[in-house]
Structure 1
Amino acid sequence: MTSLTLDERFWCTYFPTTLDGNTDMWFKTLRPGSISNFAQLKYIFLTNFMQLHKYKVDSHSIIGCKQKEGEIVWEYFTRFINARLDVPRHDEGLIVGAFTWGLLPGPLLQKLMGKKPLTRDELKERVERYLR
């Protein structure tokens, strides 16, 4: 019996096609060129998602989601949406308020504080409009 061995390039190409949902969104936030081999990708993936099984996700994961220094708005928005997807029965006001509270000072924060969005859809629309 022969064993099929595939090189690292195959695994790096094939791996992203197996992802969906939060894992796919996480993968798309990785910076191009930040992973040098499949072993590193595997390690980063496992360390990122292993903790999800250790605790029950609640509204604190939304409230604790803040924009990091040097993080662009789109990256923060994507990370925030991923955190929100894991929280059952979330309140519209909580989501909008938590996103705004987590933003670093800047033009988007000023716009959202001026006329506060009332729903997730309105928040998403205003963030996308700002990014355009």
Structure 2
Amino acid sequence: MAVYSRDKALMCKVFPSSLEPVVMRWFDSLKADSINSFKELTQAFCSHFVTCQRVARPLSSLLSLSMQEVETLKAYSDRYWEMFNDMEGNFDAMALDMFKLSLPTDHGLRTFLSGKSVTNMRQLMDRIEKYKRLEEYQQQGKGKDKVIS
């Protein structure tokens, strides 16, 4: 971009070639003729991406999370880990308990997690993966029975 800094119109044309996919999606979403100068382009860019910075989430956001009735275990655990990873501080012990408690009371994973104590996040993730594999195996077995009968 520094090579073209004297020609503002050319900078507007060259600007997209320096963008990564997330920024490119933002750039592509701009309405035609909504930007009249490179200065406006840089202002729009800065105002959008300064406000899109990730902010550490408070513990309360994790406490308010629960698995939805129609949500798959994979979708829920992905959402849970994303939120957990956005938190600052060491809340591992509470996060371990919260994951289990945020599952519906009749969910098989909740029972599965009650069997053995989980003492760290790695163990929790391993147990979730083991449960998913068990669930998939059981579903495959049921599917085979349906095909045979």
- TM-score range (shorter-chain normalised) is 0.5 to 0.7
Deviations 1:39-60 (A, max 9, x none): 8xxxxxxxxxxx987x862111
* Cα contact 1:65–1:102 (8 A) shared by 2: yes
* Cα contact 1:96–1:117 (8 A) shared by 2: yes
Hey, what's the Cα distance between the residues in 2 that align with 1:68 and 1:107? Answer: 15
Are 1:117 and 2:123 matched, yes or no?
Answer: no
* Cα contact 2:56–2:87 (8 A) shared by 1: no
* Cα contact 2:56–2:86 (8 A) shared by 1: no
Structure 1: which 5+ runs fail to align? Answer: 5-16, 20-37, 40-50
Q: How does 1:80-99 map to 2 (within 5 A)?
A: 80-99=80-99
Q: How does 1:1-132 map to 2 (within 5 A)?
A: 18-19=21-22, 57-104=57-104, 105-132=106-133
Equivalent AA in structure 2 for residue 18 of structure 1: P
Aligned residues: 91
Deviations 1:81-105 (A, max 9, x none): 0111111013221111111111112
Equivalent AA in structure 2 for residue 89 of structure 1: G
Aligned to 1:66, the other structure's residue is in SS state coil
Equivalent AA in structure 1 for residue 98 of structure 2: A
Post-superposition, which runs of at least 4 consecutive aligned residues in structure 1 deviate over 2 A? Answer: none
Identity %: 19
How far apart are 1:116 and its partner, in Å?
2.7
Equivalent AA in structure 1 for residue 109 of structure 2: L
Hey, what's the Cα distance between the residues in 1 that align with 2:72 and 2:96? Answer: 18
For normalisation by structure 2, the TM-score amounts to 0.52
| RCO higher in structure (CA 8 A, sep ≥6) | 1
